[in-house]
Each structure stands twice: as structure tokens, then as C-alpha cells.
Amino acid sequence: MSRHGERLDKLRHALRQEELGLLLVSEAANVTYLTGFSGDSSWLLVAQDQAWLVTDGRYVEQAAAEAPLCEVVRHTKSLAVSAAELANASGGKTLGFEPNALTVATHGDLVKELQGVEAVAKKSLVEKLRQVKDEDEIARIRAAVAVADAAFGALRQRLAPGMSEAQVANDLEYELRRLGARKPSFDAIIAARQRSSLPHARATDAVIGAGDPVLVDWGAERDLYCSDCTRVVFLGAPNAAWREIYEIVREAQEKALAAIRPGVPCREVDAAARIHMAQAGYGDAFKHGLGHGVGLRVHEGPTLSARSEDTLAEGMVVTVEPGIYVAGWGGVRIEDLAVVRRDGPEVLSSLPKTLETAIL
């Protein structure tokens, strides 16, 4: 059976357990995951014995080629009207929909057209399946990581005082595409000196000076799959305070990576890093969760945080990204992608992260 056939099978099993006759999949990454269709503006309606891919004239040919397991339906009025008409004619009595991927207005349009079919919000049915990657997906993420690593290597050769953060971001984006990325998996975060205390800083026109630390958080999208990585580089020898913080973050990442195993609650992995930072006196300075899943989206499940209810399973691909952020001074984050393997983590990036290798 094809990859997409297996995924549809698993989803249909979940629908039987949920006693849902139909599921309307409107989240684009979920549609891609289940069908192979790589366009957007299209919905998938799944029944036990049929799957309809509802799209418009721009995508009919592409949908037929990429999604052979689906009947492609070209809508005339709107996705909502066509999906409702198909649901009405299917004989199904309950239609699950994805509340995170349907506007209130579109939900209204859908429900208005349904006849004898009850619409029920169903969160995360497909997202749960997506959390565990198969080897083909892992190979694609590995390839995205390799492009991102190579782009960073090229950037390092050029990174010099006098460049602005925005120039660095542009250079990195150029290298990503030149080396095989379809696009960056998100806008690169380039944050020099004290701006590095902003975990999600935008690259600005601020000019990088001699001796400055620069936080670089970037990723590639290749073959539909994403990567996500962070390194800090120093354009000159860092002082004692920066050295200390860099080492604490690096050790915290090591502790968290060592905790990764199938069956471990995600919050325990987060705690492994958080406790280390707290013992070093920086408990309050770690201002976000430890990590997240990566796949078709750069942010997806599972969540690695103090509040997470998720548990690691073999085949998940997660970031491990502890950070220390001191307002007005600066911050350090080190981020890598790891595959959860039976015997522990397989770290995908091959970029070094010792303090010595961070100094240009």
C-alpha cells in the first residue's frame, strides 16, 4: 500500500473509534500529509470508502496527478458549499471538522448547507498521526537540515563586522535557496548583541560590531519538510559573562538530549534542561518551552514544555532549544533537531557547538 494509503487507513481507523462518518480536513499540511497534494486552498473530505479532494480550477490537474487516491472535485461556488453537498450525498451523519483551520465565517457557510449531517469539532486527529514520522519523512527532514547546515557554513565565511542583521538574513536566505531549499522554513532570526535577548527577534538594520555575539535561528524547507536550528557566533573573543552563559545553555541542551527516549513524558525532557539552568542561577531566564515537533510545519506536535501532556514516541522529530535571555544584555540559544530513536536521540545537524567553534 502507498504511504498515503496507509495514512488514510490510520485516519479511518481513528474515525471509526470516534464514531465519525466523515472528516473534513481543511488544514493544508494535513491535506498534503494524507494525499500528497502540495497546493493550497483545497479541502479533503474523508469517508470510510471514499476521499474527495475539493479544489478550484488552478489545481485540478495538479491534484489529479499528486493525489491518485482521491476523487478530485472542482468547486464552483465555494469550498464550503461543495464540501457540504458531498457530505449531504455521502450518507454520513456526523462530519468532523478541524476547528483550528476553519474561520468562524467559513464554518457558518458550511453548516448552513448541511442537511441531516451534524458538524462536530475534532481537534488534532491528523496532527496526532503527523507527530510520528516514517523513514521517508525523516530522510526529507535530514536533507533539509543538510541544506541549512551548508548555508550556515557559507554564511560563516562572510560574516563580518559592518554587516547589518538584515544583510545577514538576506545572505542566509540566498545560500539556502542556492543549496537546494525551496525557501526558508521561516524568516531567519538574526539578533546581534543585546537584541539576542528577544527570543523571536526580527532582523533589523542594526549593524553588527567587532566582538558582538550574533544569534542565528534559521531553517530550510525542502521536499515539503522543514528544519530548525540555532547557533550563536561571536565576532571576536567573548567576555567571561558570555562564556559562562554559553556553556550553561550548551550543558542544558546536553542534559535534555540525554533524557530523550521513547516513552518519556515531554515535560521531563524540558525539566532536564530547566533544572540545570536553575541550578546555575538562571531559572527565570529560560523564557520558553524546550522544543517542538518539526515536519511539514516548522512548529507542530509534540510540545516539549513544563506543561506538556505529550509523551515521546519512536520516530518523533523534535527540537531541543534551551536558551538564557537577559533583558537589555543579550541571550544565547542553542537548537538542534533530534529523531527519537529506540536507544536515544539521533541529532540531525552536524554543526559543531563548542564555545571555541562559536568564535569566528
Nearer to ligand GLY, 137 or 217 (CB): 217
Is residue 27 part of the contact set for Mn ion (CB under 5 A)? no
165, 175, 270, 321: residue in contact with ligand GLY (rule CB under 6 A): 321
Cβ nearer to ligand GLY, comparing 27 with 217:
217
Phi then psi dihedrals of residue 55, to 5 deg: -145, -170
Q: Copy the grid coordinates of residue 114.
A: 448541511
Nearest-CB residue for ligand GLY: 217
Which candidate, 253, 288, 295, places its Cα nearest to that of 137? Answer: 295
CB of 189 to Mn ion, least distance (A): 7
Question: What residues between 184 and 203 interact with ligand GLY by CB under 6 A?
Answer: 186
186 binds, among Mn ion, ligand GLY, none (CB under 5 to 8 A by kind): ligand GLY
Backbone angles phi, psi at 206, to 5 degrees: -55, 135
Answer whether 221's CB lies under 8 Å from 180's CB: no
According to the binding rule CB under 5 A, does residue 197 interact with Mn ion? no
Compute the chain's Rg from CA coordinates.
Answer: 23
Strand partners, 320: 336
> What is the Cα–Cα distance from 27 to 153, expressed in whole angstroms?
35
Residue pair 359/238 in contact (Cβ under 8 Å)? The answer is yes
The CB-of-335 to Mn ion minimum distance in angstroms stands at 5
DSSP labels, 43-84: EEEE-SS-EEEEE-TTTHHHHHHH-TTSEEEE-SS-HHHHHH
CB of 40 to Mn ion, least distance (A): 23
127 versus 228: smaller Cβ distance to ligand GLY: 228
- What's the residue count for the chain? 360
Count of residues in contact with Mn ion, rule CB under 5 A = 4
Whether residue 205 contacts residue 329, with contact meaning beta carbons closer than 8 Å, is answered with: no
- 213 to 252: interface string for ligand GLY, x by CB under 6 A: ----x----------x------------------------
How many residues bind ligand GLY, per CB under 6 A? Answer: 5
The residues of the shown chain that bind Mn ion, judged by CB under 5 A, are 217, 228, 319, 335
> Interface residues with ligand GLY (CB under 6 A)?
186, 217, 228, 321, 335
